[in-house]
A = this chain, B = another copy of it.
Amino acid sequence: MHAIGIDIGGTKIAGAVVDEFGAIVRSERVPTPAGDPQLLEDAVVAMIESLSDDGPAAAVGVAAAGFIDAAQSTVYYAPNIHWRNEPFREKLEARVGTTVVVDNDANAAGWAEFRFGAGRLVSDMVMLTIGTGVGGGWVLNGKLYRGATTSAAEVGHTIIGRDLEFGNNVPGDPFPQRGSLETLASGRALDRLADYAAIQYRDSFIGKMLATKGSIDGHDVVAGAEAGDEPSLWCLRVLGERLGIGIANAINTFDPLEVVIGGGVSRAGELLLGPARDAAFRHVVPGLGLNTTIRIARHGPRAGVLGAALIAAQEYAEDTGQNLQGAISGEAAP
């Protein structure tokens, strides 16, 4: 018996089969047809069918960046895909014939890390996902905290400032804009920093990448940074400092034992997390940070698919009274 998790991102759809021990036994990914809800639905159905080759799943969990109703059924609004009041659970259930649960992608990632990852030993954990946008998932007292109308943890929209304290140390940073964490520290922000740095330093690794390919993005920056390219390292330092302020705000707000950083940009690892950790501990209340560990998600960008499957398995257990045995069914409801 197994569950399927699907994570619909701004650029790709990831899917996985998760066994009863919380292990990903098979995974797939395709580009997101973000502009067309019907094509998107078809792509998700095709992925579920493909992942069901070896037998039907007990339940399917779908994670997406957006506002989802308390019944885990309807996506009110998803900024990166063209959904408005989309009854996605109902539509999918009619087509795939299994229980479907829809949840916020950062909630799903947070739940996966809490159950089987960086937060498995604590009761209070903050998850930040740095992908196309910036998402958050709060596990408080061992449960996902969703807020009064299931819209908590919109941390990407919190304001951390426009002309930051370290602004003078990053001359020429051209993208302060509105001052939200997402504007300043998302994958899109990294893309903009990459463009800026590549144009400034045409002989650098990313400068040459830009000349060769015509456009560059965060992946090129991470590759450059791993090769020691200074402008690439600069991009990750700037992004890390901004992310660090977001982390500090989360620590000052929640006093968690674990802060976990996931999403595609977390692939940069310590090259991003080092500067982020430095900035975070400079901005927390003195003493408070001593209790908190900041680390990259154990499941990396796959935390979303894993968490979606775990939440679906939980729903299945509640609906049928039948657990998917072992670790996946767990004792704590999300």
Contact = CB atoms under 8 A, between A and B. Distances in A.
Taking each of A122, A255, A292, which has the highest tally of chain B beta carbons within 10 Å of its own beta carbon?
A255
B157 A160 contact: no
Contact of A285 (B157, B167, B252, B291): B157
A165 B253 CA distance: 23
A25 interface: no
Contacts of A14: none
Interface string A140-160: 110001111111111101111
A155 to B, nearest CB: 6
B159 A255 contact: no
A30 interface: no
B252 A155 contact: yes
Given A147-B254, A255-B152, A159 B161 contact: yes
Contacts of A67: 287
A165 B165 contact: no
A160 B181 CA distance: 10
B288 A151 contact: yes
Which size class do A's interface residues fall under? 35 or more
A264 interface: no
A62 interface: no
A269 interface: no
A98 interface: no
Contacts of A149: 255, 288, 291
A253 B154 contact: yes
Interface string A168-193: 00000000001100000000000000
A298 interface: no
Interface string A309-326: 000000000000000000
Contact of A253 (B150, B155, B245): B155
Given A155-B252, A160-B160, A161-B179, 6 more contacts: A147-B256, A154-B285, A157-B248, A157-B283, A160-B161, A249-B249
Which 9 pairs between the two chains have the least Cβ-Cβ distance? Answer: A161-B161, A147-B255, A163-B163, A152-B255, A158-B249, A151-B255, A154-B252, A124-B148, A148-B257
Interface of A: 67, 76-77, 122-124, 136, 140-141, 145-155, 157-165, 167, 178-179, 245, 248-249, 252-257, 283-285, 287-288, 291-292
15 contacts: A124-B148, A140-B140, A149-B288, A151-B255, A152-B255, A153-B253, A154-B252, A157-B285, A158-B249, A159-B161, A159-B249, A161-B162, A161-B179, A162-B163, A165-B178
